[in-house]
Amino acid sequence: MSTSKKSIHFDISERKVLLRLIDIAVVLAMLYLVSQVFDFDYFKINAIHWLWSIVLAVYLTIFATIFELYNLQKAGKFEVTIQNIILTTSVTVLFYLLTPFFTPELPENRLQIVYFYIAINISLIVWRYFYVTLISAARFNKRVLLIADGPEIETIINSLEASDPNYKVVGYVKSGENNYTGQKRVSLLEFKNSNLLELVAEHTISEVVVAAPAYEGITLPLYNQLIHMLESGVSIREYTQVYEDINRRVPVQQIDQDFYKFFPFSRSNQNKLYLFFHRGLDLILSVLGLFFGLFLIPFILIGNLIGNKGPMFYTQERVGKNGIPFKIFKLRSMVINAEKTGAQFAQKGDVRVTSFGRFLRNTRLDEVPQFLNVIKGDMSIIGPRPERPVFVKELSEKIPFYEVRHLVKPGVTGWAQVNADYGSTDADALEKLQFDLYYIKHRSLFLDISIVVKTLSTIIFYRGQ
């Protein structure tokens, strides 16, 4: 038997690729149209000037990423999208005009630049309007059937739908004896084991997510029905893998003692070529960062004298790769003797942070001296945030696999730093660990570049911690 109806759904990765490709396509199409209708010859699309289009596509992709046009949570909000489009277009056009070696020379008629700027804005705004109203609409939701134990169903549904707004759990099947005790949802159905295949077809289920081990509720009749659904073209996936794919973090709270399933970690951790380029990137960015910091020294000195009143730098012991401690360098952002009552996590709105120190933290300028740690080899540009020994000891006793984050060098920025919200609780530490383990598991040059771009976005939008 085969399912009679199929629903259309774009996964997160597919939607991001779709956005990137169509962004480029609509911009080039609009520029070609403008060149045909108006007296516009600054930008030509032809075989002779093919490099112009490639450079524009590269700039557009980079700056659209920095200004969060591919953040799916924000891409579905048209007002936010318009603001990000204007920022993206402004910086893209500016860089395009400033690189005439790869792009057209500046036109004598400056009105050509206005046409260029307006055409890009209009094409992106019109296309993204259709994206918000059509592709982000409910008709493209992924309709999911969840198989899990009753008490876990609410938590799992919330984690899936919060991460992907187009991921909708239509119904569930209890895998144990416990009943579902979560929030009553009118649209959430309880499916019975006896006729699952018919119900899946009736409700156009496109994916089944199994959140129960085979020895806890996956009976032989249910197992056979899963096989039939698989044969009918329904995707069946294990919850921890779905969670990792959607959230891009490892759900350590779900895998318990089965962590061996997640080994080995990324081969890049032993790949000498990757490590060579990674170290090269560390040195290049650190030298550039310190050079940038030298220009800011006069302003930081003035700000420190007015808003910090005390030493400009401070050092602190942190835990590095393989658990080896080192001294980290930072610009001081807290009052003197901020920990006279003992070590404590910094918190959002921490009263110990000075007025100038808050500016340093939000812009991440307080971390510029850490480039010295990178050059010394204690740290990398990208990696888990280095924590203090006292906190590492406490968290290692509370959170499973916490020590795994010390398999790589700690970083000035990292996957957890650009994704996790600010926090100081054990739950916050667990969330950051999930992101850190994802980075260690999937470490690659592409992921490193993605983190650098996201860090620029964090600085631009003043979200430093």
Q: Is the pLDDT of residue 255 over 70?
A: no
Q: Is the pLDDT of residue 7 over 80?
A: no
Q: Looking at 8-17, 73-82, 330-339, which range is the least confident one? A: 8-17
User: Is 354 in the same domain as 219?
Assistant: no
Query: Nearest-5° angle of CA 186, CA 154, CA 184?
Result: 25
Closest CA to 122 of 38, 208, 228, 199: 38
Q: CA 226, CA 241: separation in Å to the nearest integer? A: 17
Domain annotation covers residue 255: no
Q: Is the pLDDT of residue 376 over 80?
A: yes
Q: Is the pLDDT of residue 465 over 50?
A: yes
Position 56 scores a pLDDT of 94
11: Cβ contacts below 8 Å, ≥ 6 apart: 142
Position 290 scores a pLDDT of 94
Domain annotation covers residue 260: no
Residue type for 197, please? L
Q: Is the pLDDT of residue 40 over 70?
A: yes
What is the average per-residue pLDDT within 73-80? 80
What is the average per-residue pLDDT within 234-250? 84
What is the average per-residue pLDDT within 327-355? 76
User: Is 105 in the same domain as 130?
Assistant: yes
Q: CA 187, CA 185: separation in Å to the nearest integer? A: 5
Query: How many domains is the chain built from?
Result: 3
Q: CA 78, CA 38: separation in Å to the nearest integer? A: 29
- With the CA atoms of 383, 258, 274 and 276 taken in that order, what torsion angle do they form, in degrees rounded to the nearest 10? 60
User: Is 378 in the same domain as 283?
Assistant: yes
Q: Is the pLDDT of residue 283 over 50?
A: yes
Domain containing residue 157: 141-247
Q: CA 420, CA 390: separation in Å to the nearest integer? A: 22
User: Is 24 in the same domain as 110?
Assistant: yes
User: Is 317 in the same domain as 441?
Assistant: yes
User: Is 129 in the same domain as 158?
Assistant: no
In this structure, the chain runs to a length of: 465
Domain annotation covers residue 258: no
Position 343 scores a pLDDT of 62
Q: Is the pLDDT of residue 320 over 90?
A: yes
Q: Is the link from the previous residue into 264 a cis peptide, with omega within 30 of 0?
A: yes
CA 47 to chain centre: 37
Model confidence band, residue 259 (pLDDT cutoffs 50, 70, 90) = low
Token digits of residue 119: 């055409």
User: Is 328 in the same domain as 293?
Assistant: yes
What is the average per-residue pLDDT within 383-392? 92
Position 186 scores a pLDDT of 67
Q: Other C-beta atoms within 10 Å of 462: how many?
A: 10
Position 2 scores a pLDDT of 44
| pTM score, whole prediction | 0.74
Residue type for 157, please? I
